[in-house]
Structure 1
Amino acid sequence: MAGSLTDISDHKRYETQLFAEKERAQVTLQAIGDAVVTADVWGRVESLNPAAEALTGWREADARGLPLSSICVLRDEESLAPLPDIVTLALRQRWRSRSAQLVQRDVSGLPGQALAVKPSVALIRDRAAQAIGVVVVLHDISQERAHAARLAYEASHDALTGLVNRAEFERRLDAAITRAREQGTTHTLMYLDLDQFKVVNDTCGHAAGDELIRQMAEVMRSQLRRSDTLARLGGDEFGVLLEHCGTGDGERVAEALRHAIACFRFAHRQRTFTLGVSIGLVTLDRQTVNVAEALSAADAACYVAKEGGRNRVQVYHPLDSVVQARHGEMEWVSRVHAALAAGRFCLYSQEIVPAHDGALPQTGRHVELLLRMVDERGRLVPPMAFVPACERYNLMPMIDRWVVETAFGTLAGRQAEIATCAINLSGSSLADLQFPDFVREQAQRFGIALDGICFEITETAAISNLAQAGAFILQLQQLGCKFALDDFGAGMSSFTYLKHLPAAYLKIDGSFVRDMLADPVNLVMVEVIQRIGHAMGKQTIAEFVESEAMLERLRELGVDLVQGYHIAQPVPFAPADPKAGDRAELALAG
């Protein structure tokens, strides 16, 4: 009997390797997140991985042998027309990857939801490089698109109201202005500022204020066309863009908005509030230059509406004197920014001295720091020229910080001679919760003893938010600072609220002091303030002392300290030694 032995170990090893590779490929195919469908060269489905089953709505067992075009129903995203046969294009090497819509199969076997996918196709070849099938990979991009759309929406819309935000509104406004200039079309822009919103916000809290803003958005939206743009520009301010709408129609829409808001009633916990709205209206035409000019004009008209009694519509007229004054304020804002950036702000100091020689121990000088701006031609600009604009546009906290930083830097080398340094603060800084920490940081930076710092706040600013002002004063007093109530007597509620404000000094309003020798009423006011101040343990300061006769009369009345041109002229506030201390630069503080 004859026989032969054949070594099949290599064959077995090859089969084992082939099985392992096939198993790895199968496991990878099952685990991959993208949908993978294979088909033969005739387009008949051979396999679907689990992701493909979930994406198409077909089970592999049901789809096997069916045409690929009936399993992967792809259509153009814009025309919704069916895409050409993928297998044919792949075999001809004409497939170009692009996004498409995949129509899913629903549970009943009928066409269902359409998803955005990115198909890619590759040929399956044998050892002779002949095509024996295709593999189609479908990458689901619907969630990516939804996420991108959500991000785009959030970037262009206000989270509270769902209205477009300022950035998106300005983009649409810019496009409308371009069309007006190039095509001669006319549009209407409105700037709306709710009246009495602060009453609701302060009385009922921010949650109620937010709810009011949401309801206001719906009230306004109901008065506009679907093609109109309503935006929340910030706080309680809104913008409206009426495209292809002239001034007359725009005024009618504005009046409808005003009437709808005036008729609206906001209810919160058994309380009902009525509101109004001040509206500034601007026509956009070929003469409109840009977005900034259009919004500035609308804001100016809105300001005129508020000044004229609120709850009214004001059409922008370039020659209106009030509107021109408003524009003047806006110009000051840009000039202030330029002056800060260029280091053209400076401090002057003016002496405050005892009315009676030797009445107080002379431990050092008492000065008040006065802010000045140097204009583009090198001339000094007094604060009353630019401060009103800065207060309206919320620049004062920034300026106050610059003053504190610069004052402390200069005081670093002059503390031995200056016992008390008075620094004016705006009402806006009273609401700045970070300001006390800023003062402490600057004092530590320059080595300043805060018991020599006296902050002056106007009486009207203090009583406009009494609790907040009192807390602010106490917080800085704990650091060692003193306080003076400036322009005291100017407000009608001065004496009622005085006991709630822990100030060390009362500065008698200069309008009373200046005319007290000629006006008996002013003289009585000075005397009353002086007496009440002493009764409450506060020292009194009379400003605007301009003659020896005024000084003598103030001495007779018992006023403690005096200040004015008769006492000393303001002088530049500079270090005693230019090298002393780490002086702050003239730049934006904070």
Structure 2
Amino acid sequence: MISEDGRTIERVYASKTGFAQCSPEVLQGENLGDWPWLVGRLGHLSVIEIDNTLDGPKTAAAELGRLSELKIGSALILGFSVQGELAGFITFAHEQAVENWDANLHLLIKLIGASLASGLSQLKDQGVLAELKERHELVSLTANDGIWDFDGITKRIDLSPRWRRMLGYKEDDEDVVLNWYHLVHPDDMARVQARMRDHLEGKIPFFESVHRMKHQNGEWRWMSSRAKAVLDENGRLLRLLGVEVDITERKLYEDALFREKESAQITLQSIGDGVITTDAEHKVEYVNPVAEGLTGWKVDDASGRSIDEIFRAFHEETCEPLENPLAVAIRRDRAIKSVRPTLLIRRDGNELYIESTASPIRDGKGRVTGGVLVFHDVSESRELNRRLSYHASHDILTGLVNRREFENRLTRALKSAKARETSYALLYLDIDQFKIVNDTCGHSAGDALLGQLGALLKSKIRWRDTLARLGGDEFGVLLESCSLEEAMQTAEALRSAIGDYKFNWEDRKFRLGVSIGVVPITADNEDVAGLLSAADSACAAAKESGRNRIHSFRENDIDLMRRRREMQWAARINNALEDDRFELFRQKILPLQEEVEGEHYEILLRMRDESGGIILPGLFIEAAERYGITPRIDRWVIRNAFRWLVSEADERERLAMCSINLSGQSFSDEKFLPFVIDQFQMSGLDATKICFEITETAAIASYSQANRFINALKELGCKFALDDFGTGLSSFGYLKHFPVDFLKIDGSFVKEILHDPIDREMVRSINEIGHLTGKKTIAEFAENEEIITMLRGMGVDYAQGYGVSEPERVTRAVA
């Protein structure tokens, strides 16, 4: 027997006489490739006759020699095939050579070979059939498909166990006979019959249908059916074999998925954002109506195109093309959200600004299968933000950069200067005579003037320089790549331009001037606040020098250093007022000529610094006067002095006179007099025991306002004292008309009267003039008993100083 692959002699079956010496069994396992002559002549029922193995064809010498070694002298060999394949050969062998083989042996060997081939073929067919049957049974048991086999002649239908189980019948019930059509849902019947008819008529190669069939329990199950018909030559049905699978669960899932998809589609069509979906190759699959409107692409036109063609994005400022965010999201496998608006070019070429979020879409295994891009129009909000940003950094009235933005640019310039990249300079401009225009023509004229001045100044500077309105009638100019000399030239050009400018308003014409402070910006400057402070001081110095001038800041400029110190003091004073860090002291005033019942004292002011130390008025009053803070201080003193007197009943009983200092600036404050009157009314204090002290210089500078103020409060019973009298000799002419009750002789004359005859005569003269005009006199700086004795001898009415008593605290600052 030959192996199935035809390469070897797989098995040898031998029958021989008892004395035969040949042993053909040794050929088992031999490679047929070693027997080419013999194999070449083997065929089905073909006989090979070998008369003598020692005398044969030369081409067969090796194979015949091998037979001879096996003690075979002659042989009759017959090949046989099974199902067309050579399966083996039969051999009659003899130890001796023969002259001719008997014809009967030829016939016999052929009969044996034919019978053997037929028997082996039947055995093989039976094996194949058994295998097919086993396979069919296994398929029926394991496949998810139900199988039915309809016999077109007997009209009987065979059902597989799986089919029975799917529709609720017992698997081993062979007696089930069903009409397949009767199980189909009535609503599906017409469609199913039409499909079957088309198949039987040869219009379609297979019958395929999805329909409902009735389960034995009465339920309707969705089935996917596929069948193939076998017809005879006349077109009559011989057999119809079909397979069916229950897809009810899948159908329910598909229906739910369809509803979910429909819901998603409706949602996508209804939301206010544009939505574009693509496959993994960035080809557009879906565009919702909003995206159609934003991009200008209809879904039918966009489908299948690259997302780069539909969604063309550019940088909002540089207009450089941007990589598509959806492509980025798919490549990076994560969501990408735009951090700033993107410029989108529509299909028609129009532009709009959008914000977007792009995300990859993954399948159940986490693999990226596409992406979704969601975006919305932010053109209006961007324009609103741009306007808000513009208004946040620009002055609405003039359109110039405002103080905040100017300080930001100063900060960048200072950093650049510290890095020694380039040189800068700062100009601080204060318009002279602006108040005249504003007061005489109204705020509308003032606003118009500022707008015209802004345009005029902007036309006189370079494009890279920054002009800003800092507030009121003050402007700032930041000069880039500019030396101090060039800055002075620019300042002069601006001064000349404003000097040549005429402002017209309702037939009135005004000439203006400008005071300019110039500060170079160097690596030595500490911060922006210091720069602006220096520039403001330089501008103020230009104003004080006669207006319409230019003053350049120098680090060792004494006037500017004083002004800067005053500015710093002004800030400290305001902070002290906010933090309630002022305290009230009192110093006794001693009567020298007669005994007076009760106490007479002056209220003194002290300020606590940030670390709690006492600061005397001499250090901060000048700055307070320069920056107009003294009216606030006067209010604080009056309010807190009155509050103290109200809270201390014993002090009120002993009180003969309480003196409170007032600044000259308070007289110009229209609301100050009503404030003082209101304090008297609220406190209920006896106004005849309150004396307000006014400095001589303030009284003369604001004579009419001071006179009006004094007369108003005198009606309530208040007293007044003229403080520091004698420092301005021009005041003698005003004295007889000034309705004050006391003259306080300036301490600069009093403290030296023991040694300086001129000071002594000054004190005597002031005392006499005071008495001639009906006023009591008080000498300040009475620092010892000797001075007090001399003052008493001169007829001075009162003495005040450390020789009388040191100041003592009456109120304490808030901790």
Tell me if both proteins adopt one fold, taking TM over 0.5 as the criterion.
Answer: yes
Q: 2:737 aligns with which of 496, 521, 528?
A: 528
Tell me the SS of whatever aligns to 2:446: helix
- The within-5 A match list for 1:5-404 is 5=214, 7-8=219-220, 17-18=256-257, 20-40=259-279, 43-60=282-299, 62-75=301-314, 80=319, 82-83=321-322, 94=333, 97=336, 99=338, 101-105=342-346, 110-123=348-361, 125=363, 133-142=370-379, 145-183=382-420, 185-333=422-570, 336=573, 345-349=582-586, 368-373=602-607, 383-404=617-638
Moved more, 217-226 or 266-275: 266-275
Aligned to 2:771: 555
TM-align CA RMSD: 4.5
Structure-2 change in CA distance of 1:550 and 1:308 (3 Å): closer
Aligned to 2:653: 416
Structure-2 change in CA distance of 1:401 and 1:55 (3 Å): farther
Aligned to 2:700: 490
- Match for 1:103: what amino acid? L
Report the Cα distance in structure 2 between the residues aligned to 1:419 and 1:145, rounded to whole angstroms.
71
Runs of 5+ consecutive residues of structure 1 not aligned to the other structure? 460-485, 534-538, 576-582
- Match for 2:684: what amino acid? A
Report the Cα distance in structure 1 between the residues aligned to 2:665 and 2:743, rounded to whole angstroms.
25
Tell which structure's C-alpha radius of gyration is larger: 2
Report the Cα distance in structure 1 between the residues aligned to 2:268 and 2:634, rounded to whole angstroms.
67
Runs of 5+ consecutive residues of structure 2 not aligned to the other structure? 1-177, 184-213, 222-247, 751-762, 781-795
Q: CA deviation at 1:98?
A: 5.2
Tell me the SS of whatever aligns to 1:245: coil
Alpha carbons 1:101, 1:116 under 8 Å: kept = yes
Report the Cα distance in structure 2 between the residues aligned to 1:488 and 1:238, rounded to whole angstroms.
32
- Greater RCO, 1 or 2 (C-alpha within 8 Å, sep 6+): 1
- Match for 1:254: what amino acid? A
Aligned to 1:542: 743
Q: CA deviation at 1:523?
A: 4.7
Alpha carbons 2:582, 2:605 under 8 Å: kept = yes
Report the Cα distance in structure 2 between the residues aligned to 1:268 and 1:120, rounded to whole angstroms.
60
Structure-2 change in CA distance of 1:186 and 1:528 (3 Å): same
- Match for 2:627: what amino acid? Y
Query: Identity rate of aligned residues, in percent?
Result: 39
Structure-2 change in CA distance of 1:237 and 1:72 (3 Å): same
The size of the alignment, in residue pairs, is 532
Cα deviation 1:191-226 (Å, max 9, x = unaligned): 111111222222233333233222222221111112
Cα deviation 1:238-296 (Å, max 9, x = unaligned): 22111210112111110111111122222333332222110111222343343333333
- Match for 1:160: what amino acid? L
Q: CA deviation at 1:432?
A: 7.4
Report the Cα distance in structure 1 between the residues aligned to 2:441 and 2:479, rounded to whole angstroms.
34
Report the Cα distance in structure 2 between the residues aligned to 1:437 and 1:556, rounded to whole angstroms.
33
Report the Cα distance in structure 2 between the residues aligned to 1:233 and 1:214, rounded to whole angstroms.
13
- Match for 1:104: what amino acid? I
Tell me the SS of whatever aligns to 2:350: strand
Cα deviation 1:464-516 (Å, max 9, x = unaligned): xxxxxxxxxxxxxxxxxxxxxx76751386399749973426857556x5389
Alpha carbons 1:121, 1:134 under 8 Å: kept = yes
Aligned to 2:712: 502
1:514 aligns with 2:726: yes
Alpha carbons 2:328, 2:336 under 8 Å: kept = no
Moved more, 495-504 or 291-300: 495-504
Structure-2 change in CA distance of 1:310 and 1:122 (3 Å): same
- Match for 1:568: what amino acid? A
Alpha carbons 1:369, 1:424 under 8 Å: kept = yes
Report the Cα distance in structure 1 between the residues aligned to 2:459 and 2:303, rounded to whole angstroms.
55
Alpha carbons 2:274, 2:374 under 8 Å: kept = yes
Tell me the SS of whatever aligns to 2:800: coil
1:448 aligns with 2:657: no
Moved more, 43-52 or 185-194: 43-52
Alpha carbons 2:667, 2:706 under 8 Å: kept = no
Aligned to 2:139: none
Moved more, 425-434 or 387-396: 425-434
Tell me the SS of whatever aligns to 2:700: coil
Q: CA deviation at 1:441?
A: 10
Report the Cα distance in structure 2 between the residues aligned to 1:431 and 1:564, rounded to whole angstroms.
28
